[in-house]
Structure 1
Amino acid sequence: MNTEVIVVGAGPTGLMLAAELGLAGIDTVVLDRLAEPTGQSKAGSLQPRSAEVLDLRGLLDHLSEADRSRPGGHFAGLPVALDNTPWQTRHPNPVTLPQVALERLLADRLAELGVPVLRGHELVDLTQDDDGVTAGTRGPDGESRLRGRYLVGCDGAHSSVRKLAGFAFPGKAGTMSAVAADIEFAATSDLVPTGQRFFGDYMRRGGGYWTLLHPLGDGAYRMIFGNAERRDRHAPVTDAEVQAALHTVYGPETTLARIRHASRFSDANRQVERYRSDRVLLAGDAAHIHLPAGGQGVNLGLQDAFNLGWKLAAQLRGWASDGLLDTYHDERHPVGARVLRNAAAQSVFMGIGEGTEVAALREVVTELVTTPDGNRYISGMMSALDLRYDMPDAPAHELLGRRMPDVDLVTDAGPTRFSRLAGHGGGVLLDLGAGIGPAASAQLGGRVGVVPAEPVPGVDASAVLVRPDGHVCWAGDDVADGLDRALARWFGQPAR
């Protein structure tokens, strides 16, 4: 079988990447070794920037299971809600959503786009040459080979792609082990939380354990816990193990009925040195692993995919400028490194480290996060709303490299907002009085849509050029000052 892109892994990162490629008309096949999704909640929420990303493609409104009522994000479970309102977002609160629901949404999008997901197909070998990648798979019908022009590993922390392609994966091995489990109770004490609360309120410590317990709905709870005891990550999670943590932290009257799903994780902290090796690329946990602190893992992977999808499509369609695909590593590797750094810092506060020194440090940082500047800094980092990519050779502007705010617009077609202009997956050139006209879009083969609109309060520019991933790559009043360079840099040379 031949295709243009082979995506290995049908978690949120792989499904998001395949959806972006499918939207661009790229022939894509997704492989996953599991015959069906596990059903485990795993990640429990979307950070605000990930909610914006889904909104840019018109997907957020389809999340009927999403709950936006939980106030604020958190940093290491400290008792201060993070306030994202200074970042000019329509989604200031984390969106409570089990990972399984997100995967269903993205799988439905792939079905609409006609992108096949081959479940029960395990990658067993791969080779690459100057023209493409050949993947050897083992599936329900035996072994087969799949040929693609590129292959992207989105197959998680223990990535087969990363190992088979020889990516170095330096970092720190895990020093602790912990459990994430979806459980049901037979009986509960008053210490077991009910309803939606600030996430930091779900953290408890006692008897050497640290725990996080919150309701999922339908009678289920998600419990994350650990202590000083280290266990083999391959060992099954037992009822007795979960019950011991429940009795210790939530009282002897709190009893377990059953475990729906359970898995182990650690505080291992690693990142590949390069996100690309010729025609093989990595995204999500295949490229970086860290303690799942603050709900950043799934969000980091979704945004890796959102950054990569349109660039890989441009490369395959032949209009990418020199080096465009390499900007995926250049832009996303520092973002991943920053998350690894803050996850390592959070591990100190979350009860994984104890003692009077840790308690004192927790108090000092809590005081810092209560200040407006401290809260804004941490909220921007945790939500990814503060992310700013380097845009070389473009005139300085406060929006340059940042996410385009989802501002209200008045266009020739009537009132709308920016996110409603981005659903096609191409670039957008907002003409806020510059008088650009539609010629630029025609010259670039429709890769950029020119949208005339009335000037927007708070956007100090007569024109704004936005990439398919929602980041501003040019803004200003003088369209002769670098706009053509930005168009060529990010959207290819004009057609003859």
Structure 2
Amino acid sequence: MIHDVVIAGAGPVGLFLACELRLAKLSVLVLEQAEEPGSPLKRLPFGMRGLTVPTVEALYRRGLLDEISALQVSKDGARNKAAHWAGQPRQPGGHFAGIQFYQDRIDTSKWPYRLPGSAGSSMLVDMESLETVFAAHADAMGVEIRRGIGVEDVEQSDEEVAVRAGGKTIRAHWLVGCDGGRSTVRKLGGFEFVGTDPEFTGYSVEVELADPAQLRPGRHYTPTGMYTYAPPGTVAMVDFDGGAFHRTQPITPEHVQEVLRRVSGTDVTVTSLQLATTWTDRANQATTYRNGRVLLAGDAAHIHSPLGGQGLNLGLGDAMNLGWKLAATIRGDAPDGLLDTYTSERHPIGAQVLDWSRAQVALMRPSRSSRALGAIIRDLIETPDGATYFAERVWGVSLRHDLGNGHPLAGRSVPDFELVDGTRLGEHLKAGKGLILDFDASTPLRTLANRWGDRVAYIASAATDMLGLSAVLIRPDGVVAWTAEGNPNSGEAAQAASRWFGRPK
């Protein structure tokens, strides 16, 4: 048997990509080296992840958002932001290197294509909940997942990829590495991975302290590093040692105590160590996300420090962008060069996130110049323009692909229009197909959509707010490919449809 796609890695990115490919009825096999899903570390407070607007919109458009939200709020101690900050004087919107920006300073009028009532707003979720929902969804869609089997070798030809895993050879038309920052697929696939070396070792630990009152709750920058303390025993630390300790020695209670005392400037005592992991700010990116029939997504394609929680969102964005393009390529109806747009669209976004991470490290360095720069950022972030800028970047509101179309909405996430029947546009995107939304119900656009068969759906409906548009063409990933104001130009619409969906029937 030869699979359409083998995916290495059953984390959120690999599972979400598998589901995207199954929308196109492709045969998908996911290989996961770990025997069991989940990790105790993912249940720590620092295992919480902020989902950006593009991620929330992607989950909503695939019908997964309500399930993830319900599972999250049902858990004991779930961190629902609205509930947590109810009654507080100010509600944070996020942070940059620990410097908060607040909701009351954000000027949402700067975002004319964000419609009221849209599902796209940032939210917190724990990794365990996310992976539980993704795994169940993948299973329901018929994705085959084999755990305890890691990729051992890769050989590709012009027609297929031979993957050696678990002592057997598995054949597939395509292989996608979603197997993390130390990706075996990336190494075996011959990808160049370039970037910057680490400046620190970061620690996320769960400990028992003999004298917890010596540590102040919250995030604190010190002359020797940084620590964040969440009572009774959850600690994150940054030790500017050039990343020397990361994965070089066992993490012992004695070592954690030594680092914590140095970074915090206290003589706090660690009596036991329950959970611990280390990380660094090393920032690397593959120079291309495709080499022949082997592709990369998520941390396999780019790594950086977990500051700001951008890595998960970046990887899920990769999966949303890649899934429909790879499916069209396998079906044989993709236009020339469609799969190459995966790298050309996602690589610049990855590079921007890596630089965003590096900029935060610059503010965290234990130096007077970093503290001085931080003071300036605090002043700027308190202004409406500053808070709006940081919200755009942290929430992903400003994300736009350069599609060469002059309209400011082209290349952006389509607004979640409220249609006259009471439904919202996002509810009509679950099938993962292209879509023409025709506010004027013009016969030429209906005829045009029919030329692409089941690749492009058609909806004729007005909306409560059409933002001055008469029609939009939407890619399967929710990105606007073409817009019309006034009488739609069928020729332009056909050209845009051909660019993204190939030849008509």
Correspondences of 1:104-119 after superposition (within 5 Å): 104-119=132-147
Q: Would the alpha carbon gap of residues 184 and 315 (structure 1) be closer, same or farther in structure 2, given more than 3 Å must change?
A: farther
- CA distance, structure 2, for counterparts of residue 220 and residue 44 of structure 1: 19
After superposition, give the CA deviation of every residue in 1:403-426 in whole Å (9 maximum; x if it has no partner): 11223221xxx2111211111111
2:224 counterpart residue number: 208
SS at match of 1:37: coil
Pairwise CA distance, 1:397: 1.6
After superposition, give the CA deviation of every residue in 1:276-312 in whole Å (9 maximum; x if it has no partner): 1111011111111112111100110000011000100
- CA distance, structure 1, for counterparts of residue 355 and residue 298 of structure 2: 16
- CA distance, structure 1, for counterparts of residue 186 and residue 23 of structure 2: 26
1:418 counterpart residue number: 425
Correspondences of 1:224-263 after superposition (within 5 Å): 224-229=236-241, 230-244=244-258, 249=264, 258-260=273-275, 262-263=276-277
- Which stretch of the first structure deviates more once superposed, 55-64 or 369-378? 369-378
Look up the equivalent residue of 1:282 and give its one-letter code.
L
Using structure 2 for the length normalisation, give the TM-score.
0.87
- CA distance, structure 1, for counterparts of residue 233 and residue 451 of structure 2: 55
- CA distance, structure 2, for counterparts of residue 469 and residue 43 of structure 1: 25
- Unaligned runs of 5+ residues in structure 1 are 194-201
After superposition, give the CA deviation of every residue in 1:341-374 in whole Å (9 maximum; x if it has no partner): 111001112x3x1222111111112222222222
1:464 counterpart residue number: 472
Look up the equivalent residue of 1:74 and give its one-letter code.
H
- CA distance, structure 2, for counterparts of residue 68 and residue 439 of structure 1: 46
- Identical pairs, percent: 37
1:146 counterpart residue number: 170
- CA distance, structure 2, for counterparts of residue 84 and residue 294 of structure 1: 21
- Unaligned runs of 5+ residues in structure 2 are 74-79, 85-91
Q: Would the alpha carbon gap of residues 53 and 489 (structure 1) be closer, same or farther in structure 2, given more than 3 Å must change?
A: same
Pairwise CA distance, 1:19: 1.1
Does the CA-based 8 Å contact 2:56-2:120 persist in structure 1?
Answer: no
Correspondences of 1:17-28 after superposition (within 5 Å): 17-28=17-28
Using structure 1 for the length normalisation, give the TM-score.
0.88
Q: Are 2:459 and 1:451 equivalent residues in the alignment?
A: yes
Look up the equivalent residue of 2:350 and give its one-letter code.
G
Correspondences of 1:156-235 after superposition (within 5 Å): 156-182=180-206, 188-189=212-213, 193=217, 202-206=218-222, 208-214=224-230, 221=234, 223-229=235-241, 230-235=244-249
Does the CA-based 8 Å contact 2:3-2:27 persist in structure 1?
Answer: yes
After superposition, give the CA deviation of every residue in 1:306-352 in whole Å (9 maximum; x if it has no partner): 10001000101111000001000000000000001111001112x3x
1:121 counterpart residue number: 149
Give the CA RMSD over aligned residues.
Answer: 2.4
- CA distance, structure 1, for counterparts of residue 501 and residue 271 of structure 2: 56
Look up the equivalent residue of 2:414 and give its one-letter code.
M
Look up the equivalent residue of 1:287 and give its one-letter code.
A
Q: Would the alpha carbon gap of residues 43 and 334 (structure 1) be closer, same or farther in structure 2, given more than 3 Å must change?
A: farther
Q: Would the alpha carbon gap of residues 213 and 418 (structure 1) be closer, same or farther in structure 2, given more than 3 Å must change?
A: farther
Correspondences of 1:385-404 after superposition (within 5 Å): 385-392=397-404, 394=405, 396-404=406-414
* 1:475 maps to which of 483, 492, 495: 483
Pairwise CA distance, 1:254: 7.8
SS at match of 1:210: strand
Q: Are 2:61 and 1:56 equivalent residues in the alignment?
A: yes
- CA distance, structure 1, for counterparts of residue 169 and residue 336 of structure 2: 31
2:390 counterpart residue number: 378
Does the CA-based 8 Å contact 1:179-1:237 persist in structure 2?
Answer: no
Pairwise CA distance, 1:152: 0.5
1:78 counterpart residue number: 99
- CA distance, structure 2, for counterparts of residue 240 and residue 329 of structure 1: 45
After superposition, give the CA deviation of every residue in 1:210-232 in whole Å (9 maximum; x if it has no partner): 123448xxx884x3212134314
After superposition, give the CA deviation of every residue in 1:39-62 in whole Å (9 maximum; x if it has no partner): 222453222221111111110100
Q: Would the alpha carbon gap of residues 84 and 8 (structure 1) be closer, same or farther in structure 2, given more than 3 Å must change?
A: farther
Q: Would the alpha carbon gap of residues 419 and 455 (structure 1) be closer, same or farther in structure 2, given more than 3 Å must change?
A: closer
1:199 counterpart residue number: none
Q: Are 2:298 and 1:290 equivalent residues in the alignment?
A: no
- CA distance, structure 1, for counterparts of residue 207 and residue 19 of structure 2: 32
Does the CA-based 8 Å contact 2:107-2:385 persist in structure 1?
Answer: no
Q: Are 2:294 and 1:280 equivalent residues in the alignment?
A: yes
- CA distance, structure 2, for counterparts of residue 237 and residue 91 of structure 1: 42
SS at match of 1:49: helix
**Which protein is richer in helix relative to its size?**
2
SS at match of 1:34: coil
Q: Are 2:362 and 1:348 equivalent residues in the alignment?
A: yes
- CA distance, structure 1, for counterparts of residue 359 and residue 416 of structure 2: 32
Look up the equivalent residue of 2:297 and give its one-letter code.
A
Does the CA-based 8 Å contact 1:474-1:486 persist in structure 2?
Answer: yes
- CA distance, structure 2, for counterparts of residue 130 and residue 112 of structure 1: 32
